[in-house]
Amino acid sequence: MTDEILSDQEMVRYCRQILLPSCDIDGQEKLKLARVLVIGVGGLGCAAAQYLGAAGVGQLTLVDFDQVELSNLQRQILHTTANIGDNKAQSGQAALQAINPEINVIAIDHKVEGEQLAKLCAEHDVIVDCCDNLATRTQLNELCFRLKRPLVSGAAIRMEGMVSCFDYSDDSPCYQCFSQFFGEQQLSCMEAGVLSPAVGIIGSIQAAEVIKIISGIGRPLIGRILLADIAAMSFCEMKLKKSVQCQVCS
């Protein structure tokens, strides 16, 4: 790569990140050239997208067909009171462009499924799962496995959360290897509640994992699940192995 990829203004904007020996100019250029798809612009998506945009990911595509509601504002930090009634993807787009006008933010304000979702995944380098239902997560996992696109998945409820990454290499597990351990009945934030910073912590970790995957730094959470207990402020790691009974990757 050449230095011309980053403008002088971008060199200043991202200088604290470029100072990291593991990132350097090369890593920052990789971020600028990257295309990241964020599914869901709720609590997790707002936190993840905000840090990805500020960090200099060149293109962020936000997908969400929901509208901003008053009860969202406790944790969905890209949206404000003035955005109530607005589409979440469009609201997030405006906020991110204000945070960093150097990047390109695309808003998709309708439900995306099937081959349309497959096409979107194929057009991006990393997929960020910030949705709140198992059916969408399952579909994303199947598509990312087929396309061999890295998937960074997160979830948060009450005062708990988890993050894991899937790269779909031969020996790596997929999301289905993990989700087969629990049933389809999953509580929502509306039913169980959620602490505001819990989604911020998990979404920020998702952003960090995306940055690591794109720039090739650190050790992403591949084959590992990071579990967070915000009440005790403790974190533990669970190893995740490829399941020989998995209907997706085995």
CATH number for the domain that contains residue 69: 3.40.50.720
Q: What does the pLDDT read at residue 192? A: 76
pLDDT tens, per residue, the chain with 250 residues = 445 899 999 999 999 999 999 999 999 999 999 999 999 999 999 999 999 999 999 999 999 999 999 999 999 999 999 999 999 999 999 999 999 999 999 999 999 989 999 999 999 999 999 998 888 999 999 999 999 999 999 999 999 999 999 999 988 999 999 887 765 556 566 667 899 999 999 999 999 999 999 999 999 999 999 999 999 999 999 999 998 889 898 8
User: Residue 146 domain-assigned?
Assistant: yes
Residue 233 gets the label, from left (phi > 0), alpha (psi -120 to 50) or beta, of left
User: Residue 25 domain-assigned?
Assistant: no
Q: Print the domain residue range for 80.
A: 34-239
Strand ordering across the sheet containing 224-229: 104-108, 59-63, 35-39, 126-129, 151-157, 160-166, 224-229, 234-239
d(CA 87, CA 109): 6
Q: What does the pLDDT read at residue 10? A: 96
Q: What does the pLDDT read at residue 191? A: 67
d(CA 82, CA 60): 23
Q: What does the pLDDT read at residue 179? A: 83
User: Residue 216 domain-assigned?
Assistant: yes
Bridge partners of residue 228, in order along the sequence? 161, 235
User: Residue 151 domain-assigned?
Assistant: yes
User: Residue 19 domain-assigned?
Assistant: no
Read off the tokens for 175.
């999301």
User: Residue 168 domain-assigned?
Assistant: yes
Which of 66, 65, 62, 69 is CA-nearest to residue 83?
69
Q: What does the pLDDT read at residue 186? A: 63
User: Residue 179 domain-assigned?
Assistant: yes
Number of domains present in the structure of the chain: 1
The sign of the dihedral angle between the CA atoms of 121, 126, 132, 133 is: positive
Other Cβ atoms closer than 10 A to 115: 9
User: Residue 54 domain-assigned?
Assistant: yes
Which of 210, 217, 142 is CA-nearest to residue 174?
142
